[in-house]
Structure 1
């Protein structure tokens, strides 16, 4: 599916309103793609979180679709807004975009959204993604984010979807070896789950406050 600028559907304003707005030192999409939101004592945390949560609850489905139809910055931002507000009506769309892996960086947002939805259906989407892409030991896409989200859901749901993936010499170990030869760093499954936990906790904590 070709990328479509939001202007073509009358939503040209969504980029400035949701994607490049600055509630900190950097545009929102850069903060979402980095680790600043997880940094203890980050001075912009309150402002950033409150505006993100407010936008997530007020953005329309049409505006979200306009963002999802465009490039990685827009898709990443839309995925976070969908996840924060738990717009489960976007589950299938998120799953399709994750599996398609058309652009870089946005996949982490899709995995976050699925982790926030928190159901067995989301675990199945993540499992299908990992089954498809972990055998490709020449590709480093969003496999770490997907595994972290799946482990997060397993812990929440009391399921074991990730067990066969993370077993010794299983899909995960073989993928890590393959991309390691390409120079990509590796993280343990526990570290990846913790990363997802922290992102979800960041939103949960500010939502409660």
Structure 2
């Protein structure tokens, strides 16, 4: 993992894309509660940067810590840089750093193909078997359901069967509300994807 304090290239990218207006903190659920006109300014700036950032710069940001990776994933989501699909899937599955999973999920949900569903399902296959880990199981399920609804295919069905992996995880993960359902998971992803749509502007 590259560290901005000792990497001049990464440090410059952090100053350019990550820290202005503390962007890295606002990306995610926080942006949904921002008041106007700050919300509009934030969305426009993110959309502009998503169009300007180069693939090399995104790749460099994805080698940094959680702040850099979260920002990079959102730039990918807004600009729909599908060439980063496999890399995001790898990073999600590795779960090397905290606070980034939802950003990966927004990007994969916006790509919205069967391959993106496969990457999300691979995560659930691994981490629903780990009730001791409170990672991104809920938001990943939301993204998987989101893609399934868009494609008209129920990619989440095999996890949601009675006594399937989802229900086992809810039962055994004491830190999670046992009433958590896929509709709750879907709601956040839907709102975050709508924000990414706003940032991207008219197609």
- Asked whether the two chains share a fold, i.e. TM above 0.5, the reply is yes
User: What's the TM-score, normalizing by structure 2?
Assistant: 0.91
- Paired with 1:29 and 1:57, the residues of 2 have a C-alpha distance of 18
Check whether the contact 1:36–1:42 (CA below 8 A) recurs between aligned residues.
Answer: no
Q: Deviations over 1:95-138 (max 9, x none)?
A: 11111110101111111110011111100100111011101111
Q: What SS does the aligned partner of 1:13 have?
A: helix
- Partner Cα distance (1:140, 1:63) in 2: 31
SS in 2 for 1:12: helix
Quick check: 1:111–1:145 contact (8 Å CA) kept in 2?
A: yes
Q: Normalised by the size of structure 1, how large is the TM-score?
A: 0.89
- Root mean square deviation of aligned Cα: 1.8
**1:40-60 deviations in Å (ceiling 9; x for gaps):** 754411000000011011101
Distance (Å, rounded) in 2 between the aligned partners of 1:9 and 1:63: 13
1:174 matched to 2:168? The reply is yes
Distance 2:154 2:160 in 1: 10
Instruction: In structure 2, list runs of 5 or more residues that go unmatched.
Output: none
Matched, 1:36 2:35: no
8 A contact 2:77–2:196 mirrored in 1: no
Higher relative contact order (CA 8 A, sep 6+): 2
Gaps of 5+ in 1: none
SS at structure 2 position matched to 1:69: coil
